[in-house]
Amino acid sequence: MKFLRYLSCLTLFSALVFCFIFPKSLVSYAANDFQGFTLKEQHVGQATFLYYPKLDPTAHFHKKVTVGLIDSGVAKKTADQLSEVKYFDATAQNDPFDTLGHGTKVASIIAAKDDQRLMLGIAPKATLYSYKVVDQAGLVKNAYLERALTQALKDQVDLLNLSLLPKHLTPKVKELLATYQRQGGLVFASAYTLKDPTTLSLFSKLKGVLLVGTYDQYFQSLGQNKAIAFYAPLTQIALTKEQQLVYVEGTSFGTAFVTGAAANYFALGKTRSEVLAMLQKFFSASALTKQQTFSSKFFAKHISSLEVLYTCLALATLFLFILLGLLSCFLHFKRQQSYWKLLVAEMLLLGLVAFLLLPTKM
């Protein structure tokens, strides 16, 4: 019995030492638990924390940046949480505001302003041009896209965010996107849907359009493809059209994250080539590979088995706790005290090890 007691303590202590030797990607931080800057009442997602201070929404911005959102619009109620929004209804239905909520979420990820109220976007000083291309029936027609792109060319926006997946693109839409790029604009578009990450969007066939995919909490890309330029965290925090904070997932919101990062760098005075270089450094497939550690790869590969193992270990620990408690009742009082002290110490150590072995959360 004494041998087993010492063996259990040695095992737990060895596991604890392992955690401190390989700390990266082992410690799990709760959302909004940031170690670098204070956000007061505002919230940002874990995605921003992963890149801070390389991507700092609280930096001193000194250059005006304009971002065109070709989406479902921006809700009128949420507009006061954005630095500046200009509206254009490409559906010709005399309603430029968002009724679906998708465009509003995208807008908040990019440019929710710094006012210590709800959430903080990645580029809080950016001016948004909202081009609504989703009609009341929820349809996105090429005629709407053509009007939106024509207006974006007139507005000369610096960046275009296309967080949508059209089923067909007309030659005119393709030509307008090519013209926009020749004028120096950057186009970011969703690469795929989470339901089918192996099938790329039609934007993948257009030269110069920067496709954005996503990666999970283990830094594993979802649907890796050479045509995809950048990868963003799968989970984001966003504002709904009712001004509520929610967690959202998808390439639409990952695209918004990368667009916001580009707007952030432009607002800092970076040139086009410098912005692209920084995006390549932080969001490319090679950058994603560098973030992967032994522990994250192991968890990604064996997560199902580990979940079963964790459950079995938890039940076994509970059983041992009850068993040791029952056995201690039959021991001498002084010996009982020593057993309980050892048991408490082991439980505390086991809890600490379990916490440290959790994979990084997003």
| 95 noted as active-site residue | no
**Cα 64 to Cα 62: distance, rounded to the nearest angstrom:** 7
In this structure, what is the dihedral angle of CA atoms 129, 240, 83, 89, given to the nearest 10 degrees?
Answer: 20
**Cα 190 to Cα 234: distance, rounded to the nearest angstrom:** 12
The active-site residue, picked from 71, 98, 135, 158, is 71
Report the b/e string of 75-97 with b at 16+ CB within 10 A.
beebbebbbebebbbbbeeeebb
Query: What are the distances in angstroms from CA 228 to CA 97, 164, 197, 209, 213?
Result: 31, 15, 11, 10, 7
Question: Two tokens at 186?
Answer: 């950057």
| 102 noted as active-site residue | yes
| 71 noted as active-site residue | yes
* 261: nearest Cα among 64, 69, 124, 114: 124
Distance of alpha carbon 113 from the chain centroid? 18
Query: Other CB atoms closer than 10 Å to residue 287's CB: what's the count?
Result: 15
DSSP string of 45-67? -HHHHHHTTTS-TTS---S--EE
H helices within the chain, ranges in order?
A: 2-21, 46-51, 102-111, 142-155, 171-182, 251-267, 272-283, 285-291, 294-329, 333-356
**Cα 129 to Cα 87: distance, rounded to the nearest angstrom:** 6
Residues 6+ apart with CB under 8 A from 106: 69, 71, 161, 163, 238, 252, 253, 255, 256
Classify 359 as helix, strand or coil: coil
The active-site residue, picked from 108, 201, 252, 295, is 252
The active-site residue, picked from 102, 158, 201, 221, is 102
The DSSP output letter for 352 is H
Task: Please list the residues that pair with 186 across neighbouring strands.
Answer: 159
Tell me: cis bond preceding 53? Omega within 30 of 0 counts.
Answer: yes
Catalytic amino acids?
71, 102, 252
